[in-house]
Amino acid sequence: MFSDEEFYGGCVFSLFFLSLPTAVSLLFISAPYGRHRRGGWGPAVSPPVAWCVMESPTIWLTLLLFPHGKNRRNPRAMILISPYLLHYLHRAVVYPLRLLRKTPGAKEASGFPASVAAMAFGFNLLNAYLQSRWVSEYADLGESFWLRFCGGGAVFVAGAAVNVWSDYRLLDLKESGGGGGGGYRVPRGGIFEWISCPNYFGEMVEWLGWALMTWSWAGLGFFIYTVANLGPRAVAHHNWYLEKFGEDYPKSRRPFIPSI
């Protein structure tokens, strides 16, 4: 039988191990949802339902595991887990509700493959276990806690602001329709003037901040996996914009990192 620490370490290794094949596969096969939706991936569900269900383990599993760690009554542990929970409260509840209100059409209602949602659900089970178990059981909450939390927290908040603003800007554009992209329009303003996918860039910055706040292998693994997952998708989005809008799309924009 594995000890809890050995099992946890194996899960951390799995998170790092998954990053490379995820990045390589997504460079050749775009995940088939949103603007990259295509047939052959089985039955589909409403995107708001998919987002809610597949992101939900980050909330309920965290709340189930947290009370069983030795740090469960430590105020610093509660403060540390809060940004993680707030991000996913937005992602699993607020964002799907806004998505439902902004894109109620029949095409959107059948646009998210259940198979992709199931894979995301599985990843979130693994990641929620790692992040919540680290904070509740293994985290160093000693003298350097506030320095790490404040420094990483500033990075996290900056990333969250970019991520949320960009997501809602894209929803507003899609609601208004028009353009040559089947309901999509060229996003403009703010950081969109430099990169095609500031929402993905913002989320990468968020989890970099989380890695700094937790100062853990689990946090670092999550950041690396986020880049491995969202980086190729940002490149696919950028190429999609260039193909759909041609000369109307600014050639100076980069996929997700300015000037790169």
Q: Tell me how far apart the alpha carbons of residues 238 and 67 are, in angstroms, rounded to a whole number.
A: 43
Q: Tell me how far apart the alpha carbons of residues 213 and 230 are, in angstroms, rounded to a whole number.
A: 21
Beta-carbon contacts of residue 11 (< 8 Å; ≥ 6 apart)? 126, 129, 130
Residue 110 has pLDDT above 60, yes or no: no
Q: Tell me how far apart the alpha carbons of residues 160 and 153 are, in angstroms, rounded to a whole number.
A: 10
Residue 180 has pLDDT above 60, yes or no: no
Residue 105 has pLDDT above 60, yes or no: no
CA 184 to chain centroid: 21
Q: What is the pLDDT of residue 150?
A: 97
CA 152 to chain centroid: 17
Q: What is the pLDDT of residues 157-175, one digit of tens each?
A: 999 999 999 999 998 887 6
Q: What is the pLDDT of residues 44-84, one digit of tens each?
A: 999 999 999 999 999 999 999 999 999 999 999 999 999 99
- 62 in Cβ contact with 132 (< 8 Å): yes
Q: Using alpha carbons only, give the angle 49, 54, 60 rounded to the nearest 5 degrees.
A: 105
Residue 146 has pLDDT above 80, yes or no: yes
- 98 in Cβ contact with 171 (< 8 Å): yes
Q: What is the pLDDT of residue 35?
A: 84
Q: Tell me how far apart the alpha carbons of residues 29 and 234 are, in angstroms, rounded to a whole number.
A: 13
Q: What is the pLDDT of residue 39?
A: 81
Model confidence at 109, in pLDDT bands (50, 70, 90)?
very low
| pTM, entire model | 0.92
Residue 179 has pLDDT above 50, yes or no: no
Residue 213 has pLDDT above 50, yes or no: yes
18: its two tokens:
């998954």
What percentage of the chain carries pLDDT values higher than 90? 77
163: its two tokens:
């991520």
Q: What is the pLDDT of residue 184?
A: 77
Q: What is the pLDDT of residue 177?
A: 57
Residue 125 has pLDDT above 50, yes or no: yes
